[in-house]
Amino acid sequence: MVRAVLRRSPNRRRVGAAAFSAAATLLAATVLVVPGAAAASTEDSPPEELSTPAVVEQLPQDLQDTISHSDNIRPLATLPKQPPFDNTGSFGTDIAFQGKYAYVGNYDGFVVYDIRNPRKPTVASQVICPGGQGDVSVSGDLLYFSVDYPRSNNSCDSEPSTAADPDAWEGIRVFDISDPTRPAYVTDVATDCGSHTHTLVPDHDGEADYLYISSYSPSANFPNCAPPHDKISIVKVPLADPASTELVAEPVLFPEGGNPGPPEGARATTGCHDITVYPEKDLAAGACMGDGILLDITDREAPVVTEQVRDDVNFAFWHSATFNNEGTKVVFTDELGGGGAATCNAEIGETRGANGIYDITGSDADPSLEFRSYFKIPRHQGDTENCVAHNGSLIPTRNGDYMVQAWYQGGISVWDFTDSENPEEIGYFDREAFDSENLLTAGSWSAYYYNGYIYSSGIQEGLDVLEINDRRVNDAKRVQFDEFNPQTQPSYQR
């Protein structure tokens, strides 16, 4: 058997409460932590179908529905959203993993799931700290949380505000998760236009984390989010003293303005939506509205754009990126309709709202992105099912390039892009429409492979745990990570 080799930054430090300042203690008092021990439903106790009206304030605890799936995928557990997140406004979002815990972002805070038994996950704690959209990553004793909705101040008990208010706050929050059942607020940093997403980038020496903050859509009426906003924000977290986290750089990635938008282009670039990094290779891929880019991140505080591509025919919004293990390919996603539209149908077709597969050719100093093909799920969805390519990760196999990916109400797809020009789906998991009469935002926001299982964060549905049994990917179970942030891609031995 080939033993998995997990290559990580050396000398990663775990930080304890003693490293936090008195200010952190004051901030922690504003955090409302809701203990939780709710257990998941399992395949042995299947749910009943739920019919949801157009406007829902609370979601029933027995949220269940009809599920279809391929023969090689088996649903193991479903754990619906728990109070106070059991409503249609508390969207479940991204996932980060550490040991036996999954940290799931939410527009109103985040949830810590105990996944030591993937067939019976439980809620370890819930943190109420609104801000949207709650993108999360974890590093040792720290959790980073993106706030993209203006708030009246930086605390967890702040009120909604507006970007037109010069005193409004949005940016990145830092929490202490040394005790996952009692997360505590450490500090925060305001960033221009907030933090729609962020990407954890460990430094080369294991002394600090960098956070690449992506945000977009500036306006002349927004004092803290003015155009042109052709940049990202870089926040540095000293691991020995996380309370001293600070903004250290705001590199301009598009000095010439990026995609100009109509009538010359498809979508104007005014910032980035998401960045995926491959730290071992000092490489990053940015999905930046109207542009897809490669970056050299050797100097963590001064990333350099080395390649830039556009697709003004089929891509509406460059949303996210995933490398293959060798770092010789990038899968970019197109979030046509912003995640709220029904785009997985015959009318939209097979190339819009899809993935674009690019090979990386040329040299490290002068790389090129060469388009090879599109991939979109082959199952048409209904008019009340928002569906488009969304967040996923590699399955760490010995042979080939395989990925699991969320498609909102299109469900979860496992697909093969080993042949860049001929990708194909090899498995799926798909629920019926959340509401058969009305188009409501629901479905899988993120679907990731972690330590032998697939975990999905449902916008409305809560946490799903799946298992795939397929000879092409079964060897991936040998790879065990102790920490996994999907937008910070690790390297594994083939």
pTM here is 0.91
pLDDT in the model for residue 65: 59
263-305 confidence digits (pLDDT tens)? 988 899 999 999 999 999 999 999 999 999 999 999 999 999 9
pLDDT band at 493, cuts 50/70/90?
confident
Q: Which amino acid is at 28?
A: A
CB atoms within 10 A of CB 244: 12
pLDDT in the model for residue 40: 54
153-171 confidence digits (pLDDT tens)? 999 999 999 999 999 999 9
DSSP state of 81: P
Once rounded to an integer, what is the mean pLDDT over residues 445-461? 98
Once rounded to an integer, what is the mean pLDDT over residues 167-183? 98
Asked if pLDDT for residue 408 goes beyond 50, the answer is yes
Q: Are 473 and 397 in contact (CB under 8 A)?
A: yes
Map residue 75 onto helix, strand or coil. Answer: strand
Q: Are 441 and 342 in contact (CB under 8 A)?
A: no
Q: Are 277 and 269 in contact (CB under 8 A)?
A: no
Please choose, from the candidates 344, 341, 334, 343, the residue with its C-alpha nearest in 3D space to the C-alpha of residue 314: 334
The two three-digit tokens of residue 320, written as one number? 């996210």
The two three-digit tokens of residue 304, written as one number? 């350099």
C-alpha 454/C-alpha 451 separation (Å) is 8
For the chain, the C-alpha Rg in angstroms (whole number) is 21
16-48 confidence digits (pLDDT tens)? 444 444 344 334 445 788 877 555 544 333 222
| Domain over 17-484 is classified CATH 2.130.10.10 | yes
Once rounded to an integer, what is the mean pLDDT over residues 126-152? 97
Q: Are 248 and 235 in contact (CB under 8 A)?
A: yes
DSSP 11-67: TPPP--GGGS-HHHHHHHTT-EEEE--PBPEETTSPPPP----SS-SS--TT----E
Q: Are 172 and 211 in contact (CB under 8 A)?
A: yes
